[in-house]
């Protein structure tokens, strides 16, 4: 496949002042309609130029939303603290407003589209008063892709504009192409829901107690209200690239997944591409940039959160990362755990939200360094010392950084056709039951593994933390339609294509614990040993043994050379405990029953076969 090396380079071709009128009639009509409803003080079309970034960020500093970091430490970078109530995705306020309720399925909130539109139209009425309404033309994936995936976000938040500029390809070049080709686009409307009356002073982080994150799947449209937080407000990311795109993928025969993409090169120079789906705050960004601890193996990054996968002309599954930046969990990111993320943010051009601010104009969070600085300003703006009772940074605090700054970004990132995936990993955070690595027998079994994926909840969404829940393909909060239909779509992907060309599927768990609560597996860089095992399984170089739940490494198959883990501990990490699995069966059964007729029969067959093998 010819690599297309075209890179995205925002260039100003004309001034997009508030008087700008788009030649794209549908776009201009929508902008006019939203402006008439939300009644902003002014309109700004986003060009994506460096000058515009300076203007915007200066305004954010002026408004008290941003604090500029020290130029010598984090050039062109900003510290930002959200309202303490607006720190994560709000799953209970997220809706799939399909025409038919059944199309939202049992895992999504639903409301009739007309009812939701009526309700939200009242909320949007005048919601941008006293604010600037920004129009952000963007494309998810490459501008020169065979299927450019356009969107336009309208927002009244300059924080959202700055973040979207990092996270997606935005601006004049995109608008030019939308206008020149008359392309359709996903309209994505966002308001923080905090209008300003004349003379009313603004707050650093305007938001509303009333929040709605709404997808209209048939119309390919997004409405978001009340939150400024990334996953709720940067509408190109979860709302478009997962919820809306998953529906497009269902209709058009491709997959939009919550997956990292990495390139793994062996000492002999053989290249493999791996995609991995782990729930939020379960290790995607870490694995995407992992520094292998095994001699001669290298990892390069293609994506850390979202993969769009289409079957190529050769029958293989090709993945692209639709994003342009990294929106990574800050706490736990340090030189010991993710040095490449540290190198990426060290170059600056970043926004840090809800981390701590150091006295010398840099940022810090738990896990960045072993010792905390003697004094910090915490994410709530208070004095903080190592004696403080609360954490300095919110557990879901984030860095927002251009992916181009990642020192191990694979050159294939610039290929609009993506990379052929050799293996898909599913994984979650489970203290018990799930072994370090299990291989699926075939695609259907792999789909069963994905469909039954479970994980303990994290701070990435509001709600209780540490509760085991099913998170199918790590997509529970992101499937834009009925999850039973989604499983059928996964099954049909292999049925409608040549399964022998499809990736092998594995289930991993870095988070299994011993009796004392410690991790059985050291994780992070050592996860490269599992990647090596996966590659060697694909190449038929190492053996696996059959167990009731799938194939696990034969003795000696996992490279443990130089690994500081006792044989006993390793055995526990790899063990298939039949009793633990028997206890899992009723939970899986209950989970599958949720989907009624929509659950593909082959998944019941998989469950029955698993039950039978456990009883044998
Ligand atoms: P989202 O960006 O929210 O989708 O999450 P993510 O999957 O990218 O999560 P991320 O890589 O940021 O990991 C978040 C947490 O997992 C951090 O607290 C890490 O320290 C922890 N983590 C990542 N990899 C490992 C590992 O191999 N072992 C252990 N024990 N913890 C890990
Ligand atoms: Mn994510
Ligand atoms: Mn991440």
Mark whether 232 and 263 lie in a shared domain: no
| Index of the ligand 1 atom closest to the CA of residue 258 | 4
| Index of the ligand 1 atom closest to the CA of residue 332 | 20
For the packed helices 601-615 and 443-451, what is the interaxial angle rounded to 10 degrees?
A: 90
Q: Is the CB of 478 under 6 A from ligand 1?
A: no
In a 13 Å sphere around the CA of 87, the CA atoms on its Cβ side amount to 20
Q: Give buried/exposed letters for 474-484 (b at 16+ CB in 10 A, else e).
A: bbbbbbbbbbb
Give nearest CA residue, ligand 1 atom 26. Answer: 523
Task: In whole angstroms, give the CA distance from residue 128 to residue 112.
Answer: 25
| Mutate-to-test residue for ligand 1 from 88, 238, 281, highest number of ligand atoms within 8 A of CB | 281
Task: In whole angstroms, give the CA distance from residue 580 to residue 433.
Answer: 5
| Mutate-to-test residue for ligand 1 from 329, 406, 528, 531, highest number of ligand atoms within 8 A of CB | 329
Q: Is the CB of 282 under 6 A from ligand 1?
A: yes
Q: How far is the CA of 305 from the centre of ligand 2 (A)?
A: 5
**Residue 423 within any structural domain of the chain:** yes
Mark whether 162 and 210 lie in a shared domain: yes
Q: Give buried/exposed letters for 356-373 (b at 16+ CB in 10 A, else e).
A: bbbeebbbbbbbbeeebb
Report the candidate in 90, 301, 336, 313 with the shortest Cα–Cα distance to residue 207: 90
Please state the rounded mean pLDDT for residues 175-180: 97
Mark whether 142 and 127 lie in a shared domain: yes
Give the tens place of pLDDT for each residue, 549-586: 999 999 999 999 999 999 999 999 999 999 999 999 99
| Index of the ligand 1 atom closest to the CA of residue 328 | 2
**Residue 446 within any structural domain of the chain:** yes
Q: How far is the CA of 325 from the centre of ligand 3 (A)?
A: 11
Give the tens place of pLDDT for each residue, 392-435: 999 999 999 999 999 999 999 999 999 999 999 999 999 999 99
Mark whether 314 and 333 lie in a shared domain: no
Report the candidate in 531, 329, 526 with the shortest Cα–Cα distance to residue 424: 531
Show which of 358, 386, 405 is a domain's final residue: 405
Mark whether 454 and 523 lie in a shared domain: yes
Q: How far is the CA of 83 from the centre of ligand 2 (A)?
A: 21
Q: What is the pLDDT of residue 17?
A: 61
Q: What is the CATH number of the domain that holds 224?
A: 3.40.449.10
Q: What's the domain range around 466?
A: 255-323+411-615
Question: What percentage of the chain carries pLDDT values higher than 70?
Answer: 96
**Residue 357 within any structural domain of the chain:** yes
Mark whether 386 and 422 lie in a shared domain: no
**Residue 80 within any structural domain of the chain:** no
Mark whether 261 and 236 lie in a shared domain: no
DSSP string of 363-405, one letter each residue: EE-TTSSSSPPS-EE-TTS-EE-TT-SS-SS-TT-EEEEEGGG
Give the tens place of pLDDT for each residue, 43-89: 999 999 999 999 999 999 999 999 999 999 999 999 999 999 999 89
Reply yes or no on whether 207 is catalytic: no
Give nearest CA residue, ligand 1 atom 14. Answer: 281
Of these residues, 80, 97, 207, 282, which one is catalytic? 282
Mark whether 270 and 204 lie in a shared domain: no
| Index of the ligand 1 atom closest to the CA of residue 367 | 20
Show which of 348, 374, 405 is a domain's final residue: 405
The model's pTM is: 0.95
Report the candidate in 155, 182, 181 with the shortest Cα–Cα distance to residue 46: 155
What token pair was written down for 216?
């209209």
Mark whether 419 and 549 lie in a shared domain: yes
Angle (CA) 295 501 505, round 5°: 55
| ipTM value for the complex | 0.99
DSSP 461: B
What are the residues whose beta carbon lies below 5 Å from ligand 2 (ion)?
280, 305
Q: What share of the chain is helix, strand, coil (3-state, %, to 5)?
A: 30, 20, 45
Show which of 213, 228, 252 is a domain's final residue: 252
Residue 467 pLDDT level (bands cut at 50, 70, 90): confident
Give the tens place of pLDDT for each residue, 114-167: 999 999 999 999 999 999 999 999 999 999 999 899 999 999 999 999 999 999
**Residue 19 within any structural domain of the chain:** no
Q: What is the pLDDT of residue 460?
A: 67
Give the number of domains in the chain.
3
């Amino acid at each position: 496949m010819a690599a297309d090396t075209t890179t995205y380079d925002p260039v100003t071709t004309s001034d997009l002042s508030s008087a700008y009128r788009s030649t794209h009639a549908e776009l201009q009509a929508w902008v006019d309609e939203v402006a008439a409803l939300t009644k902003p003080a002014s309109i700004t079309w986003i060009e994506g130029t460096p000058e515009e970034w300076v203007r915007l960020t200066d305004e954010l500093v002026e408004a008290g939303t941003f604090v500029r970091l020290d130029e010598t430490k984090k050039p062109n970078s900003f510290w930002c603290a959200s309202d303490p109530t607006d720190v994560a995705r709000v799953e209970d306020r997220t809706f799939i407003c399909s025409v038919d309720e059944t199309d939202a399925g049992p895992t999504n909130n639903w409301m009739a589209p007309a009812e939701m539109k009526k309700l939200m139209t009242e909320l949007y009425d005048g919601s941008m008063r006293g604010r600037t309404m920004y129009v952000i033309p963007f494309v998810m994936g490459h501008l020169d892709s065979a299927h450019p995936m356009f969107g336009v976000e309208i927002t009244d938040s300059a924080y959202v504009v700055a973040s979207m500029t990092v996270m997606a390809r935005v601006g004049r070049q995109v608008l030019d192409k939308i206008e020149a080709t008359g392309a359709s686009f996903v309209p994505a409307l966002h308001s923080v829901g905090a209008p300003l009356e004349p003379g009313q002073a603004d707050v650093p982080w305007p938001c509303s107690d009333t929040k709605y994150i709404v997808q209209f799947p048939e119309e390919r449209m997004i409405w978001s209200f009340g939150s400024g937080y990334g996953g709720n407000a940067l509408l190109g990311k979860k709302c478009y690239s997962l919820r809306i795109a998953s529906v497009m993928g269902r209709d058009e025969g491709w997959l939009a997944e919550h997956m990292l993409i990495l390139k793994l090169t062996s000492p002999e120079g053989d290249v493999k591409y791996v995609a991995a789906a782990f729930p939020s705050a379960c290790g995607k960004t870490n694995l995407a940039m992992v520094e292998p601890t095994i001699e001669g193996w290298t990892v390069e990054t293609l994506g850390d959160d979202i993969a769009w996968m289409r079957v190529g002309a050769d029958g293989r599954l090709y993945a692209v990362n639709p994003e342009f930046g990294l929106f990574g969990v800050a706490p736990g990111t340090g030189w010991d755990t993710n040095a490449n993320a540290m190198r990426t943010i060290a170059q600056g051009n970043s926004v840090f939200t809800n981390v701590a601010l150091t006295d010398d104009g840099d940022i810090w969070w738990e896990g960045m360094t072993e010792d905390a600085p003697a004094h910090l300003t915490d994410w709530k703006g208070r004095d903080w010392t190592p004696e403080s009772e609360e954490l300095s940074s919110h557990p879901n605090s984030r860095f927002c950084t251009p992916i181009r700054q990642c020192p191990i970004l694979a050159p294939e990132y610039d290929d609009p056709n993506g990379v052929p995936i050799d293996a898909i990993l599913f994984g979650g955070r489970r203290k018990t039951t799930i072994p370090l690595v299990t291989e699926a027998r075939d695609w259907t079994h792999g789909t069963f593994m994905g469909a039954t994926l479970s994980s303990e909840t994290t701070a990435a969404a509001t709600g209780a933390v540490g509760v085991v829940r099913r998170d199918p393909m790590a997509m529970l909060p992101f499937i834009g339609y009925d999850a039973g239909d989604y499983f059928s779509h996964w099954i049909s992907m292999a049925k409608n294509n040549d399964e022998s060309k499809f990736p092998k599927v594995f289930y991993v768990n870095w988070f299994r614990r011993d009796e004392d609560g410690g991790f059985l597996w050291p994780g992070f860089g050592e996860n490269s040993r599992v990647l090596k095992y996966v590659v060697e399984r694909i190449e038929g170089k190492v053996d696996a043994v059959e167990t009731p739940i799938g194939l696990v490494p034969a003795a000696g198959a996992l490279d443990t050379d130089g690994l500081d883990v006792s044989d006993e501990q390793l055995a526990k990490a790899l063990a298939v405990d039949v009793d633990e699995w028997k206890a899992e069966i009723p939970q899986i059964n209950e989970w599958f029953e949720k989907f009624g007729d929509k659950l593909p029969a082959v998944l019941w067959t998989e469950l029955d076969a698993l039950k039978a093998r456990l009883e044998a």
